[in-house]
A and B are shown apart, each in its own frame.
Chain A
Amino acid sequence: MPAEAAGSDFILDIRHASKSFPGVLAVSDVDLSVRPGEVVAVVGENGAGKSTLMKIISGVYAADTFEGEVLIDGTPRQFRTVRDAETAGVVLVPQELYVAPGLSIAENMFMGCLPGKHGFVDRAFLHTMAAEGLRFFGIKARTDAPAGTLSTSEQRLVVIASALAKSARLIILDEPTASLTQEETKRLFAHVRRMQQEGVGCVYITHRLDEIEQIADRVVVMRNGRVVARFDTGHGHHGAIVRAMIGREAETVSGPRVGTLGAPIMAVSRLRVFDPHDPKRRRVDDVSFILRRGEILGLFGLVGAGRTELAQAIFGGWSGIIEGSIEIDGRAGLPRSPEEAIKRGIGMLTENRKQTGLIEGQTVLANVSAASLDDVSGRLLIDTSRERTRNDGLIHQLDVRPPKLDAVVDAFSGGNQQKILLARWLATRPKVLILDEPTVGVDVGARFEIYRLIRAIVDDGRAVLMISSDLPEVTQACDRILVMYKGRLTGEFVHGASRHAIMAAATGRGN
């Protein structure tokens, strides 16, 4: 337990915080304190209560909806809104970031606090500030372009940059690096350190333990709504932290393939993918590779390297022009729609689970069947018992918890939602499965399970193309790694290659 020194030693001091939802105690009697210039990492699996705790601190939950005290600079405060908290200097960068895709990047960044002049928006000042934010993360985009033209991870960066621009005493970062690349993460950390020196406190929520070593002064581990362990340094407690998080010994990432590689199942040659809005711009430039049965092929690169575009082109989901050829199991031709790609044996787990994967409001049964309804149907009607039997087998195979076909998917944790989507694609019995960032927003325990499932998929004679921004994940879970940089392939590596060499290729410094 930290020494509860009186008053102003702490920027933030939470005492005995509890918050319950109908039937569940989400946060239970938690104490947490942050000194000026200190980074406190809060770690825990999904559902451990981290995000709820942060919402208590930052005014998302009004002061009378939870128990306990929130002290800022030693004074008890009762925030009724996020605005109240921000006025007091507490800024939350939430885990789920939403942008208005039709509004400009600049307007999105300063939504709710647009700079004004005589009642009108000061556009010049707005765009100058926005451009500064974009430069910070090295995003090349016009500040007046619609935010929807940015990729998901760029959108994330933009919102983080705008939050950092606010003047804060305490900043709360809720899994900020979930979809950031190494380089972007570095910049973010550099900025956090700069703020530290200015005496700003930081609560940093993460799933990634390597980040703790880099940035945290102290570590607080939560499980099931309670603080289960505290460490006074971010160094050297790796094993103990993981044990505290999951309440048992961690499993290790599955090793490389043990069997021999099969025959080639997909050959991509000289693929060029053009931007739908700017037909001269090549998002993927002259990419060729071969994927074999039984292989997990990693595709690594920074944001904007063209990985997702390449995957979309293979899957028939790209709206721009595509040149080159794709041969799947001996049959050549570019799929023109996801429908056709699925018929030819390709499946694709998309990057943004909520937006393009999960069909929310519908049941597990319907979600699993979404891509393969024909297999369990007659000409017109669905064979309900066949569908239930098949899907029940799949969710048990993938260990979805709880294994209830009639539950609505919204209710499941991130890891389980990802398994439900994996089940959707396994149901199509694909020859090639493309996984775009399969473990984003998935907690540690479930992450290893997903790696194991992917290995089991390829051991079945299928092939997996795994797109990932997570370098340790790519080096450990894949048999072979392709690296893209600005639309081109800039490197090919085998399992266990040095992270340094891969990063060099991904930043164009290879060869």
Chain B
Amino acid sequence: MSDPPPSGSMWRAIGADSLPAKAVGMLKRLLSGRVVSMLLVFLLLAILFHVASDGVFFSPRNVTLLLRQASIVAVVAAGVSILMVMGEIDLSIGSAAYLCSVVAAVLQVWYAVPTVPAVLITILVGVTLGAWHSLWVIGVGVPSFVVTLAGLLAFRGIGYQITSAQTIAPLSKSFTFLSEGFIPPVPSYVVLAVVLVVATAYLLRRSRLNLHAAPGELARLTGYLVALVAAIGFLAWAFGGYLGTPVALVWVAVIGLILWVLMTRSKFGRNAYMIGSNREAAMLSGISISRELFLGFLLMGALYGIAGVLVTARLGSSTPSTGTFMELDAIAGAVIGGTSLRGGVGTTAGAMVGAVLLTTIDNGMSILNVSSFLQLVVKGLVLLLALSFDAYMIRHRTYRM
């Protein structure tokens, strides 16, 4: 079947092929440029806040607290980005996390259930809520937008019914430690050093696989390594300069790693992108849409539980306003982080960075004593800008294709 390569004209025909290929190449560069632009925006904001706050913003203490503050939204943003990649959406996140928070607090405060079983049961309840969604979306065929909109109303209602809309407190020390505890600076350094070594080894190994194929690989590898060292150094500075690593960030790191492997290396992750890009073609390729969607919703459910645990531990209680607007922050974070509302495009890591960016804006404005009303306005505008960028990219792409 392998014929000798035909003469000149065929190769020139390939030249014509490279017209859209170049456009896609440009698109890719622009999209990866998006990560860079996100970091730039982050830096600009940070400098702005830093100067305006007389050096409060860029202190180890504030950076540590900011990251801890971002952790809950980062977890659910990563989760919803997976559903969005599959072409689904989840509007119930805030209420679902609140209901999980009620479960955790009730178990601890009313029934004196120890921390570990309380956490496990809470996560299980979250998974059940996810399964409930999947039942309607997959079994009945109601769009996830509507199903989770119903969840947004109903889950909070159930929580209010159980608690009579009261605050449930106080939770045990060991429970609040799950978010508010710190791993002291010295072990933190050790962990960060281990992460640095492992990540470097991974990058080196991966690039050796491709080194012969891509000439620009060395430059990219160098870029990655510099970014890695800078990030680890920054974290070491922040955590070492304050009380150490917040436990909440350990959750984020572990969940982030698991989701990253899941989305880039697993069959589920691959199929998620296929389903989100072209559901019919995926189905006709033998991919079980319902099985993958079911897994996606269960996963989101587990993350409700974890977010519920984290938010309860953070506040030391379950309050009636817990989780309000959390779904919007999560979706906004995912979108800012490059997840497309049309499905098929997005990464969990991007969604997490998007969540951090949103929190940075919150945090900076709080330091500057901007009224919380205006904060909402600014966040809304940031989301709008991110979506405009998304729309622009899509238009750009369809025009070129």
Interface residues of A (CB under 8 A from B): 21-24, 26, 45-49, 223-225, 246-248, 315, 317, 337-339, 341-343, 348, 350, 355-362, 366, 369-371, 373-374, 377, 380-382, 384-385, 396-399, 401-402, 407-408, 410-413, 416, 424, 428, 445, 452-453, 456
Q: Using an 8 Å CB-CB cutoff, how does the interface string of B10-43 with A read, 1 for contact, 0 for none?
A: 1011111111111110101000000000000000
Number of interface residues, chain B, beta carbon within 8 A: 48
Q: Which residues of A contact B6 (CB under 8 A)?
A: 248
In the assembled complex, the CB of A81 is this many whole angstroms from the nearest CB of chain B, namely 15
User: B278 to A358, Cβ gap below 8 A?
Assistant: yes
Q: Which residues of A contact B1 (CB under 8 A)?
A: 397-399, 452-453, 456
Q: Which residues of B contact A45 (CB under 8 A)?
A: 13
Residue in chain A with minimal CB distance to B342:
A361
In the assembled complex, the CB of A253 is this many whole angstroms from the nearest CB of chain B, namely 16
Residue in chain B with minimal CB distance to A47:
B16
Stretch of B226-234, B262-270, B308-316, B370-378 contacting A (4+ beta carbons < 8 Å): B262-270
User: A23 to B19, Cβ gap below 8 A?
Assistant: yes
Q: Which residues of B contact A47 (CB under 8 A)?
A: 13, 16-17, 19
CB within 8 A of B282: which of A337, A370, A385, A408?
A: A370
User: A382 to B22, Cβ gap below 8 A?
Assistant: no
Residue in chain A with minimal CB distance to B209:
A385
Given A356-B280, A358-B281, CB of A22 within 8 Å of CB of B12: no
B113 at the interface (CB under 8 A from A): no
Tell me the complex Cα distance, A357–B279, Å.
10
Tell me the complex Cα distance, A364–B52, Å.
49
User: B23 to A22, Cβ gap below 8 A?
Assistant: yes
User: A380 to B267, Cβ gap below 8 A?
Assistant: yes
Stretch of B140-148, B155-163, B182-190, B284-292 contacting A (4+ beta carbons < 8 Å): B284-292
User: A371 to B285, Cβ gap below 8 A?
Assistant: yes
User: A26 to B19, Cβ gap below 8 A?
Assistant: yes
User: B18 to A224, Cβ gap below 8 A?
Assistant: no
User: A397 to B2, Cβ gap below 8 A?
Assistant: yes
B54 at the interface (CB under 8 A from A): no
User: A410 to B24, Cβ gap below 8 A?
Assistant: yes
Q: Is the interface of B mostly helix, strand, loop or mixed?
A: helix
In the assembled complex, the CB of B296 is this many whole angstroms from the nearest CB of chain A, namely 15
Residue in chain B with minimal CB distance to A402:
B14
User: A359 to B15, Cβ gap below 8 A?
Assistant: no
Q: Which residues of A contact B344 (CB under 8 A)?
A: 361-362
User: B15 to A224, Cβ gap below 8 A?
Assistant: yes
In the assembled complex, the CB of A401 is this many whole angstroms from the nearest CB of chain B, namely 5
In the assembled complex, the CB of B339 is this many whole angstroms from the nearest CB of chain A, namely 13
Q: Which residues of B contact A315 (CB under 8 A)?
A: 284
B271 at the interface (CB under 8 A from A): yes
Tell me the complex Cα distance, A105–B62, Å.
62
User: B266 to A382, Cβ gap below 8 A?
Assistant: yes
Tell me the complex Cα distance, A385–B205, Å.
13
User: A23 to B18, Cβ gap below 8 A?
Assistant: yes
Given A24-B15, A359-B274, CB of A373 within 8 Å of CB of B267: yes
CB within 8 A of B18: which of A24, A49, A338?
A: A24
CB within 8 A of B285: which of A26, A338, A343, A456?
A: A338
B57 at the interface (CB under 8 A from A): no
Tell me the complex Cα distance, A341–B286, Å.
8
Residue in chain A with minimal CB distance to B271:
A373
B116 at the interface (CB under 8 A from A): no
Q: Which residues of B contact A224 (CB under 8 A)?
A: 9, 12-13, 15-16
User: A377 to B267, Cβ gap below 8 A?
Assistant: yes
B8 at the interface (CB under 8 A from A): yes
Q: Which residues of B contact A338 (CB under 8 A)?
A: 283-286
Having A224-B15, A247-B12, A371-B286, one finds 13 other A-B pairs with CB under 8 Å, namely A47-B16, A48-B16, A337-B288, A338-B284, A341-B286, A342-B285, A350-B284, A355-B278, A355-B280, A362-B274, A412-B17, A412-B21, A413-B16
Given A45-B13, A397-B2, CB of A360 within 8 Å of CB of B277: yes
Q: Using an 8 Å CB-CB cutoff, how does the interface string of B242-284 with A read, 1 for contact, 0 for none?
A: 0000000000000000000100011110110110011011111
Given A21-B23, A366-B270, A371-B286, CB of A357 within 8 Å of CB of B14: no
B401 at the interface (CB under 8 A from A): yes
A selection of 23 A-B contacts at a CB cut-off of 8 Å is A23-B19, A26-B16, A26-B19, A48-B16, A247-B8, A315-B284, A317-B284, A339-B287, A342-B286, A356-B281, A357-B281, A357-B284, A362-B273, A366-B273, A366-B274, A370-B285, A371-B285, A382-B265, A396-B2, A408-B28, A410-B24, A445-B10, A452-B1
Q: Which residues of B contact A411 (CB under 8 A)?
A: 17-18, 20-21, 23-24
Residue in chain B with minimal CB distance to A397:
B1
Tell me the complex Cα distance, A357–B281, Å.
5
Tell me the complex Cα distance, A342–B285, Å.
8
Tell me the complex Cα distance, A412–B401, Å.
10
Q: Which residues of A contact B285 (CB under 8 A)?
A: 338, 342, 359, 370-371, 424
User: B284 to A223, Cβ gap below 8 A?
Assistant: no
B164 at the interface (CB under 8 A from A): no
CB within 8 A of B17: which of A399, A402, A452?
A: A402
User: B267 to A370, Cβ gap below 8 A?
Assistant: no
B361 at the interface (CB under 8 A from A): no
CB within 8 A of B286: which of A339, A355, A453, A456?
A: A339
Tell me the complex Cα distance, A22–B23, Å.
8
Q: Which residues of A contact B369 (CB under 8 A)?
A: none
Tell me the complex Cα distance, A34–B9, Å.
28
Tell me the complex Cα distance, A322–B232, Å.
61
Residue in chain A with minimal CB distance to B340:
A361
Residue in chain B with minimal CB distance to A45:
B13
CB within 8 A of B267: which of A248, A382, A408?
A: A382
Tell me the complex Cα distance, A416–B16, Å.
13
Q: Which residues of A contact B283 (CB under 8 A)?
A: 317, 338
